Structure 1
């Protein structure tokens, strides 16, 4: 009889714990979404007070969750992926190489323009966050895989040729051209297309092993 009365109490306690966990996850998701929205609007370093107001939660709640920034970064990273994937369209290998190069450059520049505020906002935090470092490296590996899938001709390059191609099509190169060299979007696409074509098209560099 004691066991029968203890079971309902245990179930009630488990439901209570599950409820708290669900609320915690929802709250953290709201905080992450608020952070992303503000960054997307150009506020690259929102304060916890600003995030709390946007998320509709108390400042202490935000501060408590900000203590565990690593898990917030995971949520932010997942949300960024959700925004970016629709911009990554399949480019058939059967498409002529010259056209694939143009399409890949256009695709990369669209993606980089979309993620630029988020990468800027998280850059300062990168050096102190093992999670951000891990996720960024994973993203770079994925980016390289997509590059080699779209431009399999790159596999015939020297190692230096592949590394040069990967660097040319990186976010860092795009950001430098746009921010420091102050090139327009069109100029940036043209420079990258010409540089990649110079490596991969007949007569370009990097062909010999």
Structure 2
């Protein structure tokens, strides 16, 4: 058995080294994730495969969450990927509040540090409204239902040190800080700014070529 394993390694050494380096790269440098839900519509669609920059905030030991060096901290408007212990799954949401921010949500309209955000209508149909939200200088799209959900409002909260308040852009259909609470800094594993490719789940998984390499 030992001789067989040694021979197999020698015969496939190049492939084994490549796979090991690729695993290290995906663990600590960059990775890609398929988005299975519509919680970030209209920014990210079901079937989008997004690029995750795993060195955006930290240089980590591969295959761990241990940070060797902090590059930066998440900022308002960032789309982050994090491993939520509360939800027991990987989630992708937008940072709305950073440590120290005082935030209120009233009928899907945010107030941050006493300043009400501005909203501009983009499109509307019988069920939903797409709007542009100005997140204190960061403009991005959100979607809200015509009839607000039970999570369309929350009382004033202060984001604690070492934590972040996150929301999905599809405000009435997102399991985010309104359900799982504030996100600890050490659960955040990367930031996304681009769709690599996209498959249309509603059309036989055909590629959405117009979304390939689209900036978020």
* Same fold, TM-score > 0.5, yes or no: no
TM class, shorter-chain normalised? under 0.3
Higher relative contact order (CA 8 A, sep 6+): 2
- Structure ranking higher in helix proportion: 1
Q: Which has the higher strand share?
A: 2
* TM-score between both structures, scaled by the size of structure 2: 0.26
* TM, length-normalised to structure 1: 0.26
